[in-house]
């Protein structure tokens, strides 16, 4: 089941794909244990990319303090 509406009123009919169809197309399977989450692929390709992400994150958080 999903809480996604069958078709949002403000979406064009030809652009909408129901959640269940997206899941089927992508072959997504339910998580069966927390070990499945721990085995996830690292989202960053390098340490430099990770450090750049953190720098941007911290800068965006500090931006609202000024």
pLDDT tens digit sequence for 11-41: 566 778 899 999 999 998 888 888 877 766 7
Give residue-wise pLDDT tens across range 36-65.
777 667 888 899 999 999 999 999 998 877
The verdict on pTM exceeding 0.75 is: no
d(CA 24, CA 65): 44
pLDDT at 41: 74
Looking at residue 47, its pLDDT comes to 94
The pLDDT assigned to 7 comes to: 53
Query: Domain coordinates of the chain in residue numbers?
Result: 19-63
CA end-to-end distance (rounded Å), the chain:
44
pLDDT number for residue 52:
96
């Amino acid at each position: 089941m999903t809480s996604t509406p069958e078709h949002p009123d403000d979406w064009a009919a030809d652009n909408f794909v129901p959640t269940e169809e997206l899941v089927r197309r992508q072959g997504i399977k339910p998580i069966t244990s927390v070990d499945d989450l721990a085995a996830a692929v690292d989202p960053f390709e390098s340490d430099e990319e990770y450090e750049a992400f953190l720098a941007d994150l911290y800068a965006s958080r500090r931006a609202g303090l000024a």
